[in-house]
Amino acid sequence: MRVWFFHAGFSRRGLIGVLLCFALGCVVGVFHGGVNASLALSSWQQAKAWLLEGKVIVLDPGHGGIDPGAWSREHKILEKDIVLDIALITRDYLRAAGASVILTRETDTDLVEGAFESLKERSRIDLYKRAEIVAKVRPDAFLSIHANSFPSSIWYGAQTFYYKGGHPASKRLAELLQEELARQTQNTTRKASDRIDQYVLRVSEAPSATVEVGFLSNPREAELLSRRGFRERIAWSIFTALARFFAENP
């Protein structure tokens, strides 16, 4: 098949794009049809065509340990738990497709040892430790995963962010993530934004983005995020966005 495409005048990138569309169409149809995600990944692996194989990706689920992040009193869920689960699911999808994935944390803990006078100081050191992991690994892409909150409960919708002064490809990465979140969750009309000043994005030399998976302060969205199936959709959105990103940036 690959030889036929080249003789037909397709470039390597064009071939990747065609196979990507085919692969994503297959796996998204299977996934949204309610079949186990492992079957979707099986279809994906048959047609992934160099997209994620060998790519190094760092996933950073925010908060952890004594730092819960945002929370929903009504649904009794914490940001640190929601984003860790999404990161773990995403990790499994990516590894099944041949990527090398490093998580800044894989359990309910932060990256800080010892005691500090304040949570603010502890959080600051924790951010430094996360940034050190990214600098050491030198990944092909870096994603920080968080959940949002606001005093008013009317706001909802996942949103992605990138640092304007960072890697030139960060904007496109955030845009693709936003597109996939909108398409696959059907729960956001937001756009990728550079209105963020996040330390881990500022210092990262890799294409980087932050994914805010939704508002825990919104009762309906908190209820959605409490569902394992919805978290799987978010993870799948991240996975497909990364595949599209590496199709454009092999």
Do 161 and 198 touch, CB atoms closer than 8 A?
Answer: yes
Q: Give the tens place of pLDDT for each residue, 74-124.
A: 889 999 999 999 999 999 999 999 999 999 999 999 999 888 878 889 999
pLDDT of the residue at 78: 98
- Give the ranges where 33-169 is alpha helix by DSSP (H): 37-47, 79-96, 119-137
Rounded-to-integer distance, Cα 61 and Cα 87, Å: 6
The band of 4, judged by pLDDT with boundaries at 50, 70 and 90, is: very low
Q: Is the pLDDT of residue 26 over 50?
A: no
* CA-based nearest residue to 214, from 69, 7, 104, 11: 69
Cα 50–chain centre separation? 20
pLDDT tens-place string over residues 152-171: 999 999 999 999 999 999 99
SS3 134: helix
Going by the DSSP 8-state scheme, the letter that residue 24 receives in this structure is H
CA Rg value for the chain:
18
Q: Counting every residue, how long is the chain?
A: 250
pLDDT tens digits for 181-208? 999 999 999 999 999 999 999 999 999 9
- C-alpha span between 161 and 187 (Å, rounded): 17
Task: Tell me the CB-side half-sphere exposure of residue 224, using CA atoms within 13 A.
Answer: 21
Please indicate, yes or no, whether the overall pTM of this predicted structure exceeds 0.75: yes
Higher pLDDT pick, 15 / 126: 126
CB neighbour list of residue 113: distance below 8 Å, 6 or more residues apart: none
Q: What is the sign, positive or negative, of the torsion defined by CA atoms of 29, 39, 141, 120?
A: positive
For 116, residues 6+ apart whose C-beta sits below 8 A from its C-beta are 122, 125
For the chain, which domains are there?
Answer: 1-50 (no CATH), 53-248 (3.40.630.40)
Lowest mean per-residue pLDDT among 24-28, 40-44, 68-72, 179-183: 24-28
Tell which wins on pLDDT, 141 or 74: 141
Helices (H), the chain: 2-7, 12-32, 37-47, 79-96, 119-137, 170-185, 199-203, 219-225, 228-248
CA distances from 10 to 4, 19, 244 (A): 9, 12, 18
Whole-angstrom Cα distance, residue 195 to residue 70? 20
pLDDT-derived band at 73, boundaries 50, 70, 90: confident
pLDDT value of residue 117: 77
